[in-house]
């Protein structure tokens, strides 16, 4: 699972609490309380561990924690802690922001994955590297918590040849002549090429490319491409990307592709999580 360092947690706190909680300070409020985070909808939990880390920075004692990736029903307790009211007031919003945004994304992902797998249980749903700037790590944790995987974390860990690469290397015909050389250089990495039409896909499959990404193929063309490519190489990996969302994922899943690649999951409505303070003593 994704790990957040102490420095990252502290930076998150300092963004909201640069100096002190001015409102609570001027009211001279003190005493202890119990703090509870409660689901106001059915959801997939995410970032409860990071919220726990924030609470512990303020010396709050954790009572209950539902781990990321868990499905909970409306009304269920997600996280609870107790300690000084002033400390709880200073950090609770940081915790709720974390869990609401991440759980919203995880819930959307789980729903999407279930739609796809209802038609093809072995299909892989994977997200692109088009994460929201400065929120990559939390976004990826939410995607994983929702049951999807990540197509590419970044440029350094996978090989995906786009049309821009092909243009600057001398064109499609030149790429075909260099397939064996590219695969030797890639060594233990799989070489994936994104294609925009069936002819390109067939030429590359015959040339020995073992992973193809179909870009913006409609459902019928995706099905046709999958059938044609399997006749050339039954073990070829096929992904489809571009314009896939919850309104069409079921039909794409029926086409027989191995993977659905999407950025749509990153744009999720925050989950509804309530916060309850109870005075102790």
CATH code at position 184: 3.20.20.70
CATH of the domain at 62: 3.90.1170.20
Tokens (6 digits) for 138: 């939390």
Q: Identify the pLDDT of residue 101.
A: 97
Half-sphere exposure (Cβ direction) of 106: Cα atoms closer than 13 Å: 29
Q: Say yes or no to pLDDT of 1 above 80.
A: no
**Confidence band for 10, pLDDT divided at 50, 70 and 90:** very high
Same domain, 258 and 135: yes
Q: Identify the pLDDT of residue 26.
A: 87
Q: Identify the pLDDT of residue 174.
A: 96
The CA R_g of the chain, rounded to the nearest whole Å, is: 24
Same domain, 12 and 74: yes
Same domain, 193 and 238: yes
Contact 219, 248 (CB under 8 A): yes
CA–CA dist 23, 85 (Å, integer)? 13
Same domain, 128 and 230: yes
**Confidence band for 42, pLDDT divided at 50, 70 and 90:** very high
Q: Identify the pLDDT of residue 28.
A: 85
- pTM confidence score: 0.92
> Which residues, including other chains, have CB under 8 Å from residue 216's CB and lie 6 or more apart?
196, 241, 242, 243
pLDDT digits (tens, 9 = 90+) for 226-251: 999 999 999 999 999 999 999 999 99
Q: Which domain holds residue 185?
A: 122-266
How many structural domains does the chain have? Answer: 2
Q: Is residue 92 part of a domain?
A: yes
pLDDT digits (tens, 9 = 90+) for 184-226: 999 999 999 999 999 999 999 999 999 999 999 999 999 999 9
Tokens (6 digits) for 7: 């420095």
**Confidence band for 25, pLDDT divided at 50, 70 and 90:** confident
Q: What share of the chain is helix, strand, coil (3-state, %, to 5)?
A: 45, 20, 35
Q: Count Cβ atoms within 10 A of the Cβ of residue 207 and give its class: 0-12 exposed, 13-18 middle, 19 or more buried.
A: middle
Q: What are the phi and psi torsion angles at 30 (to 5°)?
A: -145, 180
Q: Identify the pLDDT of residue 262.
A: 97
Q: How far is CA 148 from the centre of its chain?
A: 7
**3-class secondary-structure state, position 77:** strand
Q: Identify the pLDDT of residue 76.
A: 98
Q: Identify the pLDDT of residue 134.
A: 86
Q: Identify the pLDDT of residue 154.
A: 87
Tokens (6 digits) for 169: 């290397």
pLDDT digits (tens, 9 = 90+) for 73-91: 999 999 999 999 999 999 9
């Amino acid at each position: 699972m994704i790990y957040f360092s102490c420095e990252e947690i502290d930076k998150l706190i300092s963004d909201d609490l640069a100096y002190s909680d001015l409102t609570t300070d001027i009211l001279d409020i003190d005493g202890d309380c119990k703090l509870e985070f409660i689901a106001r909808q059915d959801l997939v939990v995410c970032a409860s561990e990071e919220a726990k880390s924030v609470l512990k920075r303020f010396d709050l004692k954790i009572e209950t924690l539902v781990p990321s990736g868990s499905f909970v029903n409306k009304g269920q307790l997600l996280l609870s802690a107790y300690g000084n009211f002033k400390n709880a007031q200073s950090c609770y919003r940081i915790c709720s922001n974390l869990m609401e945004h991440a759980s919203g994304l995880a819930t959307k992902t789980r729903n999407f994955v279930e739609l796809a797998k209802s038609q093809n249980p072995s299909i892989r749903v994977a997200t692109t590297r088009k994460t929201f700037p400065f929120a990559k790590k939390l976004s990826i944790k939410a995607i994983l918590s929702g049951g999807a995987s990540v197509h590419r974390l970044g440029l350094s860990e996978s090989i995906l040849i786009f049309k821009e690469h092909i243009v600057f290397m001398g064109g499609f015909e030149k790429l075909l002549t260099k397939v064996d050389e590219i695969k030797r250089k890639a060594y233990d990495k799989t070489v994936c090429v994104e294609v925009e039409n069936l002819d390109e896909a067939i030429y590359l499959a015959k040339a020995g490319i073992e992973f193809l990404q179909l870009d913006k193929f409609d459902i019928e063309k995706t099905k046709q491409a999958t059938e044609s490519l399997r006749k050339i190489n039954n073990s070829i990996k096929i992904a489809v990307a571009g314009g896939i969302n919850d309104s069409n994922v079921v039909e794409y899943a029926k086409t027989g592709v191995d993977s659905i690649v999407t950025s749509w999951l990153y744009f999720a409505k925050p989950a509804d999580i309530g916060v309850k303070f109870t005075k102790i003593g």
